[in-house]
Amino acid sequence: MNYKPLIIVLGEPYSVFSEILFKLFKTKIFKKFKRPVILIGSKDLLTKQMKKLKYYFKINQIRISDVNKIKSYNKKINIIDIKFKFKKVFDKISIKSNNYIKECFDIAILLLKKKNVFAMINGPISKKHFLNKKYLGITEYLSSKTKIKSNGVMLIYNPNFSVCPVTTHMPINKVSKSITSKKIIYNITEIEKFYRTNFHKKPLVAVLGLNPHCETIDKFSEEDKFIKPAIKFLIKKKMRISGPFSSDTFFSRKNLKKYDVAVGMYHDQMLTPMKMLYKFNAINITLGLPFIRVSPDHGPNNQMIGKNKSDPQSLISSINFFKNLNGN
């Protein structure tokens, strides 16, 4: 069986992602992964980082037009070379990388739109420098580039339990004004579609409140105004959903075993317990795009660059997700 390639956008050039990639390439799961993998990024920088970190892999540079001709299954590192001028192999993150990162994403999106490739993994990106306040995160960036009217949905996924924040990388003082029943309904509908399409199951979803104990001394209650009406609407649509639950008591062993997904109202409400529970054994999946996009659930971690001590588990989990998705 011929599999369409999986592409990996290398992302921020000055990050630990190259180190994590090299560690992935040495694992049994990658060597047995049947789908061809193609990197998009700077061949020159990747080669120099490889030598500096003392890894040794053969690199196969390919053209965009040759993407569908790749037959070798990960015996070499296949890469579409994007030129990038750099002075140091390990340098600091700055806006000087922006045009390079944009070109990598542009080519990835082009290949995905033409359906020449199966899906995309991207390495971590500096939100401060690359997104430059125009987008909250890569979820919103890709939604804009693919002309999705409603922004994609962020699902932090583990096979046993996943979480979704209704608002993403947003300052906490703006969260309450950004919550609507429509947004909650959209996120949960996309989550259910994802589970039904890929795992043939209707997920059991728990919805968390915004206020402590789902209560407030204010006259205005987000639970009463937006969250409860959304839950009632989704129940009428025959979705398996409960809530709202107080987030300070929700993440118990009993609930983790009972529910497939928890949907909360803001980023740290959901990602803090998720990272405590699964550490790097979780991945970020963007739902609602015209293609599957996955990224490891961590940032560039520039402080650790070149030390060869970073944990590759989240990227390994990304590959494992696609392996289980396709039975290969």
Q: Looking at residue 106, what is its pLDDT?
A: 95
For 264, the token pair is: 């909360």
Please check whether residues 172 and 110 belong to one and the same domain.
no
Domain count of the chain?
2
Please check whether residues 69 and 134 belong to one and the same domain.
yes
For 148, the token pair is: 């999705």
Does 153 fall in a domain? no
- Please tell me whether the peptide bond between 244 and the residue prior to it is cis, using omega within 30 degrees of 0: yes
Does 50 fall in a domain? yes
User: What angle in degrees, to the nearest 10, is found between the helix axes of 181-199 and 228-236?
Assistant: 40
Whole-structure pTM value: 0.92
Name the 3-class secondary structure at 242.
strand
Please check whether residues 240 and 312 belong to one and the same domain.
no
Cα of 167 vs its chain's centroid, Å: 15
Q: Looking at residue 101, what is its pLDDT?
A: 93
The amino acid sitting at 263 is V
Give the domain CATH number at 211: 3.40.718.10
* Last-in-domain residue among 246, 262, 282: 282
Please check whether residues 178 and 245 belong to one and the same domain.
yes
Please check whether residues 7 and 141 belong to one and the same domain.
yes
**Using the 8-state DSSP alphabet, how is residue 115 labeled?**
T
**Using the 8-state DSSP alphabet, how is residue 3 labeled?**
P
Please check whether residues 69 and 175 belong to one and the same domain.
no
Q: Looking at residue 185, what is its pLDDT?
A: 97
Angle at Cα 28 formed by Cα 256 and Cα 72, nearest 5°? 120
Please check whether residues 7 and 142 belong to one and the same domain.
yes
What are the contacts of 226-233 at 24+ separation with CB within 8 A? 226/179, 226/180, 226/181, 226/184, 227/179, 227/181, 227/184, 227/265, 229/181, 230/181, 230/184, 230/185, 230/188, 231/207, 233/181, 233/185
Q: Who's near 209: CB < 8 A, 6+ residues apart?
A: 222, 223, 227, 243, 244, 245, 246, 247, 265
Does 226 fall in a domain? yes
**Helix, strand, coil percentages for the chain (3-state, nearest 5):** 45, 15, 40
Does 220 fall in a domain? yes
Please check whether residues 328 and 196 belong to one and the same domain.
no
Q: Looking at residue 72, what is its pLDDT?
A: 59
Please check whether residues 144 and 224 belong to one and the same domain.
no
pLDDT of the chain, 328 residues: tens digit per residue: 678 899 999 999 999 999 999 999 999 989 888 889 999 999 999 999 999 999 999 999 999 998 888 875 667 899 999 999 988 998 888 889 999 999 999 999 999 999 989 999 999 988 888 877 788 888 888 888 988 878 889 999 999 999 999 999 889 999 999 999 999 999 999 999 999 999 999 999 999 999 999 888 777 889 899 999 999 999 999 999 999 999 999 999 999 999 999 999 999 999 999 999 998 899 999 999 999 999 987 878 878 888 888 889 999 999 999 988 754 4
Please check whether residues 54 and 28 belong to one and the same domain.
yes
**Using the 8-state DSSP alphabet, how is residue 226 labeled?**
I
d(CA 258, CA 161) in angstroms, rounded, equals 9
Task: Count the Cβ atoms, other than its own, within 10 Å of residue 155.
Answer: 25
Does 299 fall in a domain? yes
Alpha helices in the chain (DSSP H): 17-25, 28-31, 43-53, 98-113, 138-145, 175-178, 181-199, 222, 228-236, 247-250, 253-258, 267-278, 313-326
Q: Looking at residue 73, what is its pLDDT?
A: 60
Q: Looking at residue 326, what is its pLDDT?
A: 59
Q: Looking at residue 151, what is its pLDDT?
A: 84
Q: Looking at residue 38, what is its pLDDT?
A: 95
Task: Count the Cβ atoms, other than its own, within 10 Å of residue 24.
Answer: 20
Please check whether residues 51 and 187 belong to one and the same domain.
no
Please check whether residues 202 and 222 belong to one and the same domain.
yes
d(CA 48, CA 189) in angstroms, rounded, equals 45
Does 64 fall in a domain? yes
Domain range spanning residue 236? 158-282
Q: Looking at residue 1, what is its pLDDT?
A: 67
d(CA 159, CA 168) in angstroms, rounded, equals 21
Q: Looking at residue 94, what is its pLDDT?
A: 86
pLDDT digits (tens, 9 = 90+) for 208-257: 999 999 888 777 889 899 999 999 999 999 999 999 999 999 999 999 99
d(CA 263, CA 205) in angstroms, rounded, equals 7
